[in-house]
Every structure is written in structure tokens, then in C-alpha cells.
Amino acid sequence: MDKETRRLKRIKRRYRGEISFRLLSISAIVLAASFLVFFLSDMVRTGYTAFEQTVVQTEITYDADTVEIPQLSVSEEMSDLVSRGFLRLIPQMVEENPKLMNTTQTQWVLAEAEVDQYIKGKPNKLSEEEIAHIDSLKKEGKVKLVFNKWFFTNGDSKLPEMAGLLSAVIGTIYVLILTMMFSVPIGVMTAIYLEEFAPDNWFTRIIEVNINNLAAIPSIIFGLLGLAIFINLFGVPRSSALAGGLTLSLMSLPVIIISTRAALSSVPDTIRQAAQGVGASPWQVVWHHILPLSLPGIMTGTIISMAHAIGETAPLLIVGMLAYIPTAPTGVTQAATVLPAQIYTWSGDSLRAYTERTALGIIVLLSVLLLLNAVAVVLRNKYERKW
């Protein structure tokens, strides 16, 4: 076999290898996209029904007896269909509106979770008599599905029909604000020092290696660190937004430092040299020239780190934010929970009605994460400078 023939065979072999690699790459992309589509479609299929909630029309009696024993406010045949959560609110309703006392009102009220499951065509624990009663009420127009506003205005509840995300949303906002307050200034200042002022010696190299390593360690380690330092050492209230914000700020610091250093290093040295040439001090060079030019990259890295933090559960579980929070916290030292922890709590509940709420909570969380990442991409594309 001559050399030319061997050379042609090698070329054909390389082309076959290239085609095989392309096919494998395309297969990997298709497989990943298929898993993503399956996951999203399953979440939407399971969770979209939680956008609606069943209500029933019944007569509610407000008097001294029903304020004392709320279950007496509805007829016996309706007591098993009306949510116990609504009945518990009757004393509060009378206190807020005294004109209700000694009256009988025909109202649309929340139905019990099993009734809601039946109306939505899902498995339930209703008896045949209860199903027949619900069917007769449905024919009379006394049972219907309405928009589930309670999911967005209520806190957590042991009753699925009353459970909502408000407490978790407020807690998430508190934690996110505190995380930004603690991590962004420290992270940006650290990056400026390491990139612009720190000498290149063994000590700074050790610091850089450790920062890169911290960005890759499991997030639960930061939870243990937050428990040991902030709660056990400094006495920060357990389960509070302050403890969660401080813990997540530790986790966000390496990402912010690395992204800020990358943004600072992308500014050409000619900018620094020009500023120094007109007599600017090293700090003036950074403050007036380097920092403004690198701000889009810093903002992008910060938003991405916040999106990463908002989706974390493990470190917050360690500091006690897996808590039952029926009312939204009004301060950063009060007990609070966050969206991922709330979703985790619902996913472990045995009641079927929590399944759709878990899926809808995941959809809400994914929407927030996608929005934050979209904002980061828009800012990067809008303010990106090409040198």
C-alpha cells in the first residue's frame, strides 16, 4: 500500500471521527433539551390547576354561638364541604365588621381540599354521599372554580386550600436584600484590591486559589459555617432572614469577586496609563475610570450570583429557615422562610392537594430565576464594551 493510499485512509478516518463527534454532540443537546421539555411540561401539567380554587355558596350565620363555635355557622350538611380555615376566621371577621353580628349571609367560601380535588377530577377521599351532594350543588350553580388569589395572598397553612406563598415571598425578598447589602460591597472591594493594588506574591496567590475553591464547594458547607459563626457565635436569631442573608452572602462572595475581577481585567491597560499620564492617583484611576467602565460586568455577575442564591435550599435549612410561617415576617430578625424551603416543605407533605401547589411554587421560582438571568443578559448585551 503506497503512502498516498494510507494518507487518504487517514483523512477519511478523521472525517468519520468528526461526523461521529458531531452526531454525539447533537444527541447530547437533544437529550438535554428533551429532559428540560419533559420537566417543564410535567411541572405545568401538574401545577396549572392550582391557579384555580373551588368555592361553594352557602349561608353563614353570625351570632354569639357561632363566634364561640365557628362550626355552627354553617348547616350540618355543608360543614364537611366548607374549609375549616374559613370557619376559623369568623371571629376575626365579626371583630373587624361588627355589623355582621346576628345576621345570616349567603356567601361564596373556600371549599375543603378534597372537594377541590374532586371538582378538578383528581383522586380524593370523599364518600359516595358527599360526591352526590357536591354533584347536586354543582347542578344548582353553587359550586365553581375561581382564580386562586389565596395562593398569592396567604402564608403557609396546614390546610392545603388555605396555603399560599406570601410569607415565603416576603422572606425571600428580605434574604435577597440582605445578601446584596453584605456581599456586593465586600466582594467588589475585595476584587478591586486583588486586581488593582495587591502585590503579586505567594500570599495573594494563596488568597486567589482559596477564593476559586470556595466558589466550587457544596453550598451546605456555607450553611454549617453560618450556623457556627452567625447563630452560635454571634447570637443571630435562628430561622430569621438576617441569618439567611448573612449565610447566603458568604456563598455569594466568591462568585462576585471572580466576576468583578474578570470585569476589571477586561478594561485595557491603556485606560490606566492614560489616566496616570495626566496625574491621576491609583485610586482616582480606579474610581473615575476603571470602575465605571467595568460596572456592566460587575452588575451582570452580581445578578447571576443573586439568582444562584435565591434558588438555594441546603444552607438555609441548616440555619433553620425550614419553618412553618403562616404570617409574613415584618422584620429581618423574625422567623421567616424562603421559596425553595416552602416548596421543599410542601413536596414532603402526604396530602395530595399539596402536589399541585408544589408544582406551581416551582413554576413561580423558575419564573423569577429566568427573569433575573434575562435581566443579566440584557444588561450585558446593552452595556458591553468591545475594546
- Mean pLDDT by runs of 10 across the 387 residues of the chain is 75 84 91 90 90 92 88 86 89 88 90 91 88 90 92 90 91 92 92 88 87 84 90 90 92 91 88 87 88 87 86 86 84 90 87 90 88 80 70
**Domain spanning 166-383, CATH class:** mainly alpha
Which of 254, 265, 338, 268 lies closest to 301, judged by CA? 254
Residue 386: predicted pLDDT: 66
Identity of the amino acid at 45: R
Own/partner pairs, 311-315, CB within 8 angstroms, 24+ separation = 311/340, 311/365, 311/369, 312/219, 312/248, 312/251, 312/340, 313/340, 313/341, 313/344, 314/218, 314/219, 314/220, 314/223, 315/219, 315/220, 315/222, 315/223, 315/226, 315/247, 315/248, 315/251
Q: Where are the domains of the chain?
A: 49-148, 166-383
Residue 181: predicted pLDDT: 92
- Please give the model's pTM, rounded to 2 decimal places: 0.86
CB within 8 Å of 17: residues ≥ 6 apart: none
Residue 247: predicted pLDDT: 93
Residue 1: predicted pLDDT: 56
Q: Could you tell me the maximum CA-CA distance found in the chain, to the nearest angstrom?
A: 108
Which of 229, 249, 227, 226 lies closest to 176, judged by CA? 249
Residue 387: predicted pLDDT: 61
Residue 108: predicted pLDDT: 92
Residue 34: predicted pLDDT: 93
Residues 53, 58, 59: CA angle, nearest 5 degrees: 145
Residue 249: predicted pLDDT: 92
